[in-house]
Structure 1
């Protein structure tokens, strides 16, 4: 069983739900408290042992790569003023650890992952959707690190799962569950965005995956699915029965930062976890409520 060293970040979306903020700034660079959204996802991947970061980008996304580059002028000014560079340390990736590839057309998540096929090669890889901000419980490792533990135990393909209200199944890929053991559930089937009355369960896939490289061959010939897009869920379904496939319900909070309310909630929730901000924030909330 090969280790998971590479992670794909589909970041080509236009972020139209956040206009006008995202007219000139990638949505992944919007900050939650004091870090851009993409930083949380990259930090999570590195904590899990990921060595190679792969961005699948579109036009106007250069700020994502710049964020993880060395800012010589900024660092020089900070050093001259005697300021610490500790805040910049997580943004400095090792040389050659970041690669970027273009998704020229918005053809869906499956297509975005397929665009990274030559960089992934014949290795298993992770996929992280930065819009899904996953924050591990206090004292717990991050979402992907928890999934890696399951991967080490059973191998194959692993998806992160979360129970959702039945009326919301049409917004997710939904799992047909098999045998369950603790936080791990065998995946018997997958369906993309089913109507509530047709959903096989309320166990939904959220934005973290560990996938085997064979999925790229499936995506080579994958036809459009729900929404007229090439769906990653449909390609994953083709691997069920051919390779081990499990879902993991992780001990982490999820904030849908592709949604404005989810984004605001994430800012409040993460600020309330910080000792340097929580007291003042609670007082402010009480004052304006």
Structure 2
């Protein structure tokens, strides 16, 4: 089994509301993170590359693999993250909320970020053409395990269809909004034709992880380079694969709307 850290970023920007600040990494810090990956010999791959290695349908992973993923599809990915990734020749996977392309992040109204700009279709097309793997992140970013079966299916299927129609390329991977999913939602993602799905968990993934529940490590605004290095090595993190009933008290606290307790308690709240 090979340990594989999957990093989860959201917005790369200097400005953010107080409630959204934890999920906004400054461009300078993001550049320092990527410089560290390069200096330490990490070899970034896409989610689909990991899925292929894990299922035996693709080549083995390189030594010191790492995945750099982004949720939501904020416009600052194009302006702040992509140039840094390209400078290092790093591939990445970007999960896009299809219903907000060309609009603003209306689901973040309560966080004071309803006007945060999302990628336009032209920007997203440019991102895809420059080698970034694009995946689906639902159509309007609901908690899929808290809405009806039919509504959840529509969110999953519609996001794939809309993105494929506009980008004219297959959507192989899905990311659960907020990281929340259960057996029903997982099966709906499988049935929709995706080959993998990213969860959150704030944990270390591996080549034996569930490819429809890949664990990711949340990168926050205050994740320093030394702290990132500890996370990349798995210090203090659970390790995939997990027992089928793996749940923590922190996870249950998040579902009740409690905002503190541990890094895991912040798991995927805005993912």
Instruction: Report the TM-score, using the length of structure 2 for normalisation.
Output: 0.29
**Which structure: larger Rg?**
1
Give the structure-1-normalised TM-score.
0.28
